[in-house]
Structure 1
Amino acid sequence: MTHLAPLLIETSPLLPVRPPETVSMRTRDGVRLEADLYRPDAAGAWPVLLLRLACGRRTALTSHYAHPRWYAARGYVVVVQDMRGCGTSDGRFRPFENESEDGADAVAWAASLPGSSGAVALYGCGYAGMAQWLALAAAPKALRAVVPAFAGWDVFCDWAYEGGAFRLADAMGWALRAAAESARRVEDGTAHRILSDAARRLPLDDEIPSRPQALRDYARYTHYDDWLTMPAPGAHWDALSPRAKLTEMPADVAVMQIGGWFDPRLAGTLDAHEALAGRSRAPLRLVVGPWTAAGPQEAPSLDALQLAWFDRVLKGEGADRGEPVRLHDVEAGRWHDLPGVPAADTAFHLSSDGLATRQGGRLGLDLAEAAALDVVVHDPRGPVPAVGGHAVPDAGRFDRSVVDRRPDVAVYTTPALTEPLTLAGRVALDLWIEADAPSFDVSAVLSVLHPDGRVLPLTQGHARVEPGDPTRPLTIAMRGACATLAPGTALRLSVAGACFPAYPVNPGTGAEPGETRRVDAQPITLLIHSGPERPSRLRAPLPPGGAGASFGQEFSSDARSFDTRAGSTSPFAAATRQTSRL
C-alpha cells in the first residue's frame, strides 16, 4: 500500500573513502572500547557520525542502515564502536547501566579523531537508540545531533513490561541472543549452542514458559531474571531510563526520532517527542513509518532520512521541510504532515446484544441507551494467539480474521464507511470490565475490516490487572495509529483475555510469571460492560479540519461480514494536511 521509496538524488560528487582503521579509547573507569573508523580520503574536516553497538560492530547494523562507507563517501567521519562487554571491547555488558557515561566519553573521544570537525552526531536503532538518549543525558559538549530509531523512552514500560504485563517474546528473544553472545566471548561452546538454538525457536513450551530451562541454567550470562522479578516501576528502572535521567534537554542538540507503527517501543517514542517538544529549542522531528524493528519495509530508507537531517543540522545544507511530525498512513500509503501527535479525542462506544463473542457487537459514535454485558471465557490450554502487531518477532500487519472468529474473542465493529475516514495519533480504550479471578489480562486490538473479510491490525494494547487494580473503567493505552479508511471498510475492536506469546498467560492468581507453571493456570471469565452507566469506549484521534465521513452499511446478524442494507449515517470531521513525500 505504501509508495515506493523516493530516490536519493546526489548533489555533489562522492568522496573516496580510506580503508577502515581499528581504533580504541578508554572510558573514565579505564575500560577499553574498540571501534572501526571510516573517513573520506580527502583534505578537510568532517562532522563525525558515531554508531555504538551492542551486537558487534562488524555487522554495523546493515540490516537497517547503509554500510558506514556510504556515509563517509558523503562527507562524514564514521565511527562504529563496540559497547562495553560487546564485540572486542573489554568489560561486562549490563543493559543500560553504563551507556550514559560511556556514551559521553565516546562522544568526546570521537570529536578528537583525525579528520573530525569537532561536531558529533549519534545514530542507531533499538538498544543503540536508547544509548543515544542516555549519552544525551550526560550533555557531552561535542554532541550536536541524535537520531534514535525504534528506541523508546523508558526501560520498564518500553522494554520489559507493557501495561503491567511482561513482554515475554520480545524480552526473552533479546535476552537469549545477548546471553549467547556473552557465552561466545568466554568460549563456553555448550552454552552458546543451547542459547543460540533457543533464540531461534523460543522455548515457550517449557514447564515454566516465562523462565525456560535454558535461561535458568545460564542465568549468569543475562539480565533476564532481574527484569522478570521486578514487575513494578521504581528507582532501579529509573536509574536506567532516559525518561528519568534526561530531565534537562541540552539546548543545542537537534533530535530526529524514527519510529514504526509495529515497533515494540513506539509508545515510548511518542512519549519522548511530547516530553521534548516543551523543552528543546533545537530542531526537533518525529517520523513514524511502516518500518518494524526487524528491518526496513517498502518506504523511504532510514539513510535518506538521516543524511538529509545530518546535512541540515551539522553542515547547514538544505532547508527545513514541513511540520515537526510526519506519520505514514498504512492504508492510503501516503504521509501526513502535522504540528504534533493528535490525542485520542473522539469516543467510539461499545454496545451489543450480549453476543459479542458470537454475533459480534457494535462500535459507534452514539452511546447505547441500554446496558449490555458480554462474557469472554479465557481457557489457558489454548490462549488467544498473537497475530502480527508489535510484540512478537514476526511483527507487522497480518490478517487476524481467523483469530476474530474464535469464541474467546469479543469483537465490536462499526458499520461500513461511505466516505473516507482518517485516524492519526494516539489511541486508548476505556473498558468497564471485571473477572472471576483476582488477576487477569486484557488484550485489545484495533483493526480495519475490509469488504473481502481481511482484518488488518492498526494498533493494539495490553493490560495485566493485579488484585485491587481499578477496572471501572480500565484504561488501556493502545499506542498510536495512522490510517485513512476507504469507503466500504470498517473499524473493528477485538478484546480477549490473552495474547500469547507476546505476553505470558495469566494464571489468575496474581503470581509472577517467573513463578507460574503451565499447570497453575486456570480458566478466567471476563465480563465486559457497556451502556449509559458503564460506557466502555474506544478513544481515537481525528485530526482537525477537512471533510466529513459517514457510516453506511449495517452488519448482518452474525457481525462477521457486511450486509448490503442501508443504514443511518453519522457525520464527523476527519482529515489532515497530507504530503506525498518526506
Structure 2
Amino acid sequence: MLTRDCVRLDADVYRPDAAGKFPVLLMRQPYGRAIASTVVYAHPSWYAAHGFIVVIQDVRGRGTSEGEFQLFAHEVNDGFDTVEWAAHLPGSNGRVGMYGFSYQGMTQLFAAQARPKGLKAIAPAMVGYHPGPDWAYENGALLLQAGVGWAIQLAAETARLKDDRVAFQALYQASRQLPVYDADPTCPDVLQRYAPDSFFHDWRQHPPDAPYWQSITPQLEDVDLPMLHVGGWFDPYLRGDVRLYQAMAARSQFPQLLWIGPWGHLPWSQHVGARDFGAAANSPIDRLQIQWFAHWLRDEPAQLLNQPPVNLFEMGSNRWRAFDHWPHESDRQRWQFSSSGLAAMHSGDGKLLKLEAPFEDVSPTVPSIDTWVHDPWRPVPSLGGHAAIPSGAFNRAAIDGRSDVLTYTSDPLPTALVVAGQVEVSLHCQGDRPSFDLSLTLSEVRPDGTVYNLTQGYGRFTGIPNAWQTHVVKLQPTCFQCAQGQALRISISAANFPAYAVNPGVAIAHASPRLMDAQITTLSVKCSHPDSYLLLSTN
C-alpha cells in the first residue's frame, strides 16, 4: 500500500480458504513481518483458518517497507492509512481489528488515536502506554538491560537493511553480551559508533517527567474502543497495561477486558524463570482473541463477555481468578519491619510482623536502625523479576545472603495468604549521598530454605545527604497465594544491576556518568518506625 506521503508499506495477507466477506485482523510490527509475533501468538494462518483476513505489515523503514524508521514517529498517520486500506481489501467486510504485543501493541494505540472509521476493536498486549514512566524508567530509574538490549536490536536491523555488515556484526555481537560495563553503560560505545541516531540517546537524556515523552505517548482522551488488555506479572511494561486498562475502564462505553498471566515478555508459557506454574499458565490468548474479534467484527456471541472483565493468574495456587474490577486497595494488610540492627548480616535477624493493632499504636519509642553499604564495584546482581533478562521467578537465597541486602522475614504463615493488586513499601531511611536507589523484592520463603521472588520494585531518590526521609516504592502489581507454612520476605538493596543502571550517587537523579565516578554509599533504614512498612492488597 501507499501512505498519504506516497511511501510504500509492505504486508503479507493471509486469507480464509472459503468464499465470502471476512473481517480483517491487522498487526503492524518492526521486526520483519514473517515473524508475525509468533514468539507469543499462533501463526497468522491459524487466525485465517478461523475466518479472518490477516494482514501483517512492516512499519515504515522496517522489513521491506520504504521510508525511514523513527520510533513511533509515523505510527499515527501510517496506522490510520493502513486501517483504511485494510478495510477495503478485496473480500473484506469493512471491519478491522488490531492485535499484537510490545511495539505491535503500541501501533494499535497510535492507530486508534487517529480514529479510523474501519477500526472496531483492538487487543493491546504488554504496552508501555506512557513510555517515560511505563517503559524507559521505573520510579525515576532507567531500565538499563532491557533498554540497551532493545536499542541494539533495532540498530542491528537498521544496519542489516543498509547492508552495513561491519555495523551489523558489531551490534549483533553486542546483543549477545550486552556492553553494560562500558565507561557509561547507558551510552555504550557500540551505540555511539553505529547508531548515533538511536532513540535510546533521547531516552537516557530525558527524565521521565520531561515534556519530550508527551510526543511519543498515545493520545487516547477522545478514543473509545473495545479493548482486550493482556499483561504479565514478570513483564517490564505491566505498569502501562494497568494504567491503560484503568483509564479506559473508567470512561469507556465498551467492554474493557484484562488478562494477566504469570509471564515475562516472552514466551507466554507455564515455565517462567525457574518455576513451573502448571498447565493453566499456558497462554489462552489466541483462543480468547478469536472470540473477541469474532464478536466485534462479525457479530458472533462471545462467552468471555459474559464473565467478569478482570482475569488474573494467581501464582501459587496456579489458577485463573476472575474479578469484577481491578482489585481495590481498601482491604490491605500492613506489615512492619523489626530487627536488632543485623538484618544485613543474619537472615534470621530481620523480622516482618503483621500489624493487628491500629498502626499508630504499635511503634516503640526508639526504632532500631539497619545500616548497609552499597559498593558500585560489586553491586547487587539482578536475578529475575520483571526488569532483568531473563525475567521470572528464581531462587534468590544466595543474593539474600549478601551483607548489602537487608532481609525481613515473617514467621511461617498459619494460613494461606492471598494477595492481588498493588504492593507498596515505605521506608524511613537516609543515605550519605545526594542520590541513591532502593530495590525492593517480595518473596516467598519455603520450608526447605529456597526463596522465590513474587514481585519487585525499584526507585531512584534524591535528597539532603544524611537526612532522614520517607520514600515509598510501588512494586509491580501481582497476584499470588503464599501457602500455609511458607513465609514472606522483603529484601532491600541499593542496586539491581544490570536490570537498572547503578546510581552514581550524584545530585542529578537520572544522570549516569562514568562508572569510575560512582560513589560508595552508606544507607540506613529505621525499623519499627511508623513510616517503614509493607502494604499488601489482600483479595
Find the partner of 1:409 among 390, 405, 411.
405
- The residue aligned with 1:429 is 425
Q: Distance in 2 between matches of 1:30 and 1:346?
A: 58
- Checking the alignment, whether the CA contact within 8 Å between 1:183 and 1:191 is kept in structure 2 is yes
* Alignment match, 1:489: 486
| In structure 2, C-alpha distance between the alignment counterparts of 1:471 and 1:92, rounded to whole Å | 50
Q: CA 1:471/1:156 → structure 2, altered by over 3 Å: closer, same or farther? A: farther
Task: Describe the superposition over 1:24-61 as per-residue Cα deviations: whole angstroms up to 9, x where unpaired.
Answer: x1222222111011111321111100011111101111
Amino acid corresponding to residue 138 of structure 1 in structure 2: A
AA matched with 1:276: M
How big is each residue's C-alpha offset from its partner over 1:66-124, in whole Å with a ceiling of 9 and x where there is no partner? Answer: 11110111100000000011101111111122212211211111100011111110000
Alignment RMSD, CA only? 1.7
1:522 alignment counterpart: 519
CA offsets, 1:324-346, max 9 Å, x none? Answer: 11100111101111112224433
Corresponding residue of 1:538: 534
- Check the 8 A contact 2:433/2:505 in 1, yes or no: yes
Structure 1: tracts of 5 or more residues without a match:
1-24, 544-582
2:339: which partner in 1? 352
The equivalences for 1:306-345 within 5 A come to 306-315=289-298, 316-319=300-303, 320-344=305-329, 345=332
Match of 1:440 among 423, 430, 436: 436
SS in 1 for 2:54: strand
Per-residue CA deviations over 1:113-172 (Å, capped at 9, x if unaligned) read 011111110000111111111211221111111111111211111221111111100000
Structure 1 residue aligned with 2:38? 62
> Contact 2:396/2:453 (CA < 8 Å) preserved in 1?
yes
Q: Of 445, 452, 459, which residue of structure 2 is paired with 1:463?
A: 459
Correspondence list, 1:87-106, <5 A: 87-106=63-82
- The partner residue of 2:266 within 288, 294, 308 is 294
Q: Distance in 2 between matches of 1:130 and 1:389?
A: 23
Is the contact made by 1:423 and 1:484 (CA closer than 8 Å) also made in structure 2? Answer: yes
Q: Residue 441 of structure 1: CA displacement?
A: 0.6
**Hey, what does 1:127 align to over in structure 2?**
103
Q: TM-score, normalised by structure 1?
A: 0.86
SS in 1 for 2:112: helix
Deviation track 1:232-269 (CA, whole Å, cap 9, x = no partner) reads: 42322012112xx111232xx21011100000001111
CA distance in structure 1 between the aligned counterparts of 2:455 and 2:380, rounded to whole angstroms: 17
Equivalent AA in structure 2 for residue 310 of structure 1? F
Q: Tell me if structure 2 keeps the 8 A contact 1:211–1:514.
A: no
Q: Distance in 2 between matches of 1:368 and 1:465?
A: 25
Residues 393-443 of structure 1, C-alpha deviation per residue, up to 9 Å, x if partnerless? 200111111100100000111111111110011111111111000011110
Compute the TM-score of the two structures, normalised by the length of structure 2. Answer: 0.92
Alignment map for 1:219-368 (pairs within 5 Å): 219-242=195-218, 245-250=219-224, 253-298=225-270, 299-315=282-298, 316-319=300-303, 320-344=305-329, 345-359=332-346, 360-366=349-355, 367-368=362-363
Report the 3-state secondary structure (helix = DSSP H, G, I; strand = E; otherwise coil) of the residue aligned with 1:464.
strand
Query: Which residue among 173, 176, 182 is the counterpart of 2:152?
Result: 176
Question: After the TM superposition, which residues 134-153 of structure 1 pair with which residues of structure 2 at under 5 Å, given as runs?
Answer: 134-153=110-129
The letter for the 2-side match of 1:318 is A
SS in 2 for 1:32: coil
How many residue pairs were aligned?
514
2:9 alignment partner, SS class: strand
Q: 1:310 to 1:268 in 2, by over 3 A?
A: same
> Which residues of structure 2 form unaligned runs of 5+?
271-281, 356-361
Distance 1:231 1:289 in 2: 30
C-alpha displacement of 1:231: 1.9
Amino acid at match of 1:490: A
**Other structure's SS at 1:202 match:** coil
Task: Name the amino acid aligned to 2:492.
Answer: V
2:472 to 475, 486, 490: 475
Q: Which residue of 1 aligns with 2:276?
A: none
Letter of the structure 2 residue corresponding to residue 120 of structure 1: V
Q: Which amino acid aligns with 1:352?
A: S
Q: Percent identity?
A: 42
Letter in 1 for 2:322: D
Map 1:552-563; keep pairs closer than 5 Å: none
Instruction: Output the CA distance in 2 between the equivalents of 1:120 and 1:38.
Output: 14
Work out the CA distance in 1 between the residues paired with 2:45 and 2:195: 38
Q: Does 1:508 align with 2:517?
A: no
User: Which deviates more from structure 2 when the two are superposed, residues 489-498 or residues 219-228?
Assistant: 219-228
1: CA distance, partners of 2:142 / 2:240:
16
Q: Which of 90, 99, 111 is 2:87 aligned to?
A: 111
AA of the residue aligned to 2:302 = G
Deviation at 1:513, TM superposition (A): 6.6
Measure the CA separation in 2 of the matches of 1:391 and 1:182: 25
